[in-house]
Structure 1
Amino acid sequence: MDVRAQIVMAFNLDKCIGCHACSIACKNIWTDRQGAEYMWWNNVETKPGIGYPKRWEDQEEYQGGWVADGTNLRLKGLGKGPTLLNMFYQPNMPKLDDYYEPFDFDYANLYKAPPGSDQPVADAFSQISGEKMPVIQGGPNWDDDLSGSQLYAAGDVNLEEKRLIEDYGRIFMHYLPRICNHCAHPACVASCPSRALYKRGEDGIVLVDQNVCRGWRFCTSACPYKKVYFNWASGKAEKCIFCYPRVETGVCSSCAHSCVGRIRYNGVLLYDADKVGDALLRRDDQLVEGHRGVILDPRDPQVREGARKNGVSDQWLAAAEKSPVYALVKEFGVALPLHPEFRTMPMSFYIPALSPVIGSAGELFEVVEHGEIPPLESLRAPIGFLASLLAGGNREVITQVLTKLIALRIHMRAKSLGRPAPTGALQAAGLDEAGAERLYRLFAVGGYGERHVVPPRQREELEAERRKGERGFGILRKTRRGK
């Protein structure tokens, strides 16, 4: 058993209001500079929709992630041989048009323009070439709130029932915030010829060594989530760093800190690195179960012993016991990985949204009366859509999660109104009253300290301990020699 510690984020999609406060916080801190104008390490997408970059989920086009080849895993896009042959050409990499050409406005023209008969305007210009852009054809969140549009919703690869977008009255929508998943089996790290990308041993954060990066951009092609970007000014790869300077001091990431809806949870997970390979060789619809099986119980004495052997401190073990992400992912099983079929074992998890509901009356569809909690069958978002997004196509997993969420709402609503809860609702969903109370606290009333359990652990301290251990070993060796 090879026990590793990972700092992890979970998202409650039922609470995201699409305000983009997280994206702006990240942009202001990390990518507000030349060459990074188009980068959104954190972005919020409208689903159904094509996302950012356009159609990033379509791996038939982008060839990202891993595929199971018998008893082995291989990169879907390029192997070692094709990598050398395509060193200077990336056929599957998103183009600038798939993101958008970053632009700004010539605001100085508003007060420097010579006198004339027309009101001066601030013309748009490209932040890359500096040339004027007569027509802006794309931008960040270009399809924001357009899930009902046949142009954008029809491009969502998860939407099996295309007929839904033909009737605007039946369409559904929720938001999908995304960061780098800091995967346990990252394709970006495996694809880099110069080995510039690496996964930190102490917290699992995936980073790019700017001194080693040569700008080959294999990482951009290999990442199925398209969360590695190329800085056109520096010629280096860049990506989300999980705000590790904040994490090392025990503070949650800036996107989570700024979240208006309090949908994000930071915590520590322990997982068995020896089981990752076997878990990823399962069929697509079994990957969620395999992913859960890799995550370890931080209260298990054997797990704790194995973690200490790998340098996991008692402080991190204590944080793993209190981790809200462990409760959501492992204990209650309501948080799911995004597109597990990409086989990178993402370490970000999502609680599916209880979509708006409709009641049918002949050919008419109307929103159900406010306050009524619907049965699972009447939920507006198709189970197949959510299964494609979060469960590798496994509808049963999605059904189990939604059943728990509905049972929780029924129980807590009855309790808040002083009414007797329906008998057996929680038990049928695999919950008890104590578990329902814990979930309710996490979802609704939990404070900062409950939603974000981040142990302070600076890298400098680890290096000092390592050097101290080496010196101690040297002294011990000299002492034995003297005897």
Structure 2
Amino acid sequence: MDVRAQIVMVFNLDKCIGCHTCSISCKNIWTDRKGAEYMWWNNVETKPGVGYPRQWEDQERFKGGWVVDGKKLKLKAMGKGPTLANMFFQPNMPKIEDYYEPFDFDYGNLAGAKESKDQPVAEAFSQISGKKIEEIQGGPNWDDDLSGSQVYAAKDLNLKDKKVIESYDSMFMQYLPRICNHCLNPACVASCPSRALYKRGEDGIVLVDQEVCKGWRFCTSACPYKKVYFNWSTGKAEKCIFCYPRVEGGQCNACAHSCVGRIRYVGVLLYDADAVEAAALKGDAELVEAHRDVILDPRDPEVCRQAKENGISDQWLDAAAASPVYALVKEFRVALPLHPEFRTLPMAYYIPSLSPVLSTWGDTHKLLEHGMIPALETLRVPIGYLASLLSGGNHAVIEEALKKLIAIRVRMRAENLGLPADPELLADAGLDEAAAKRLYRLFTIAGYNERNVIPPQQREENDPEKRRQEGGFGILKKTRRGGK
């Protein structure tokens, strides 16, 4: 057992209101400069929809992530031979049109236009070429709030049953905020010929060494989530850095700090680096459970002992024990990885969304059960859709999480209204009274320090440069040396 620490984020999709405050706060701090105009390290997509960049989930086109080759993993994009042949050309990388042509408006024309019979306008122009744009064709969330329409929803690869968007009463939509997942088995790190990308030993954050990067862009092709970008001005790769200057001081990420809906939880997970590769080799339906098995109990004395041998401080072990992320991911099993079938073992997790509580009562509603709260089989968001998004197609994993979320809703509504509670309700969902109260608090009234448990770095105990020179850890040792 090789115990390592990872800083992790969990998103509660049931609470995201799609305000994009997180995206703007990230943009203002990290990508508000030349060459990064089209980059959104944090973006919020409307689902079902095409996403950003367009169709990023289609790995038959972009060939990101890993595939199982016999008893080992290999990058889906290319091996050693094709890597050398495509050193100066990436056939599977998204084009600027797949993101969008970054644009601004000529506001100076409003004040400086010559006298005319017509009202002056602020015309759009490209932030790359400076040329006038006759018609804007896209943006970072071009289908914002339009996923209920057949035009956008039908293009979502996760939506297998197109019948749900054929009638107004069965259409649905939700928001999906995304950052770099800082995966345990990152394809971007394994694909880089110059070894510019690395995973930090002290907190698991994946970074790009700008001094080493040669701009080959293999990382952009290999990342299945398309969260590594190419700066056209500097010729270097860039990506979400998990706000590590803030995290090192014990503060949460800018996106989490600014989140209006308080949907984000940041904390520490301990995991077994020796088990990463074996977990990634599992079948699609087994990946979520294998992913959970990699995560270790921070209260286990043997785990703590080996963690200390690896240089993990008592402060980090205490943070792992108090982590809301561990409770949501491992203890209560309600937070799930995004597209686990990509086999990168992402370290960003999502609590699946539920249908809204009904605001009116009447015979016309089809969703009435347990009072005003929809039952599992009548949820507006299809379980098959959520399974394609969050569990590699495993419906049982989604149903387990949704049952718990519904049971908490029903139980707390009954308590708040003084109604009799079904004694079997929580037990059927795998919860007891204490667990339901704890989850309810995390979902609703938990304060900043409960939602974000981030220990500050102790540089005298953790030397990141030394860790990096040792070649990373776990599967990264093999992928770096093997050049896969």
Q: What is the TM-score when the length of structure 1 is the normalising length? A: 0.93
Query: CA 1:464/1:73 → structure 2, altered by over 3 Å: closer, same or farther?
Result: closer
CA RMSD of aligned residues (A): 1.9
The equivalences for 1:211-250 within 5 A come to 211-250=211-250
CA contact (8 A) 2:17 2:175 kept: yes
Q: Deviations over 1:385-408 (max 9, x none)?
A: 000000000000001110111111
Query: CA 1:464/1:439 → structure 2, altered by over 3 Å: closer, same or farther?
Result: closer
User: Equivalents in 2 of 1:400, 1:115: separation in Å?
Assistant: 67
User: Equivalents in 1 of 2:457, 2:357: separation in Å?
Assistant: 45
Shift of 1:68: 1.0
User: Equivalents in 1 of 2:370, 2:353: separation in Å?
Assistant: 17
CA contact (8 A) 2:338 2:390 kept: yes
CA contact (8 A) 1:356 1:367 kept: no
Equivalence for 1:281: 281
Matched to 1:437, the amino acid is: K
User: Equivalents in 2 of 1:82, 1:465: separation in Å?
Assistant: 31
CA contact (8 A) 2:357 2:372 kept: no
CA contact (8 A) 1:170 1:365 kept: no
Query: CA 1:131/1:263 → structure 2, altered by over 3 Å: closer, same or farther?
Result: same
CA contact (8 A) 1:2 1:272 kept: yes
* 1:45 match: secondary structure: strand
User: Equivalents in 2 of 1:449, 1:290: separation in Å?
Assistant: 30
Equivalence for 2:271: 271
User: Equivalents in 2 of 1:213, 1:253: separation in Å?
Assistant: 25
CA contact (8 A) 1:196 1:210 kept: yes
Shift of 1:366: 6.2
Equivalence for 2:127: 127
Q: Highest Rg: 1 or 2? A: 1
Q: Deviations over 1:334-393 (max 9, x none)?
A: 0000000000000000000002489xxxxx876759960121111111111000000000
User: Equivalents in 2 of 1:371, 1:233: separation in Å?
Assistant: 57
User: Equivalents in 1 of 2:367, 2:146: separation in Å?
Assistant: 19
User: Equivalents in 2 of 1:83, 1:8: separation in Å?
Assistant: 31
Equivalence for 1:385: 385
User: Equivalents in 2 of 1:185, 1:148: separation in Å?
Assistant: 35
1:160 aligns with 2:160: yes
Q: Deviations over 1:128-177 (max 9, x none)?
A: 00111111111121100011222211110000111112212210111000
Shift of 1:459: 4.0
User: Equivalents in 1 of 2:47, 2:356: separation in Å?
Assistant: 13
Report which stretch shifted further, 52-61 or 160-169: 160-169
Equivalence for 1:186: 186
CA contact (8 A) 1:357 1:367 kept: no
Shift of 1:19: 0.4
Report which stretch shifted further, 394-403 or 158-167: 158-167
CA contact (8 A) 1:56 1:225 kept: yes
User: Equivalents in 1 of 2:262, 2:9: separation in Å?
Assistant: 12
User: Equivalents in 2 of 1:423, 1:324: separation in Å?
Assistant: 27
Equivalence for 1:59: 59
Shift of 1:66: 0.2
Equivalence for 2:343: 343
* 1:177 match: secondary structure: strand
User: Equivalents in 1 of 2:301, 2:446: separation in Å?
Assistant: 28
Q: Deviations over 1:250-301 (max 9, x none)?
A: 0000000000000000000000010111111110000000000000000001
CA contact (8 A) 2:54 2:98 kept: yes
* 1:249 match: secondary structure: coil
Q: Deviations over 1:201-224 (max 9, x none)?
A: 000000000000010000000000
User: Equivalents in 2 of 1:238, 1:145: separation in Å?
Assistant: 28
The equivalences for 1:197-216 within 5 A come to 197-216=197-216
Shift of 1:112: 1.0
Equivalence for 1:262: 262
1:3 aligns with 2:3: yes
Equivalence for 2:480: none
User: Equivalents in 2 of 1:54, 1:465: separation in Å?
Assistant: 37
Aligned pair count reads 463
Q: What is the TM-score when the length of structure 2 is the normalising length? A: 0.93
Shift of 1:461: 6.0
Equivalence for 2:471: none
Q: Deviations over 1:91-113 (max 9, x none)?
A: 11000000000011111111111
Matched to 2:84, the amino acid is: L
Query: CA 1:370/1:397 → structure 2, altered by over 3 Å: closer, same or farther?
Result: closer
CA contact (8 A) 2:205 2:241 kept: yes
Matched to 1:64, the amino acid is: G
Report which stretch shifted further, 416-425 or 279-288: 416-425
Matched to 1:320, the amino acid is: A
* 2:220 match: secondary structure: helix
Report which stretch shifted further, 146-155 or 285-294: 146-155
1:408 aligns with 2:411: no
User: Equivalents in 1 of 2:464, 2:381: separation in Å?
Assistant: 52
The equivalences for 1:285-364 within 5 A come to 285-356=285-356
User: Equivalents in 2 of 1:310, 1:120: separation in Å?
Assistant: 65
* 2:45 match: secondary structure: strand
Matched to 1:395, the amino acid is: H
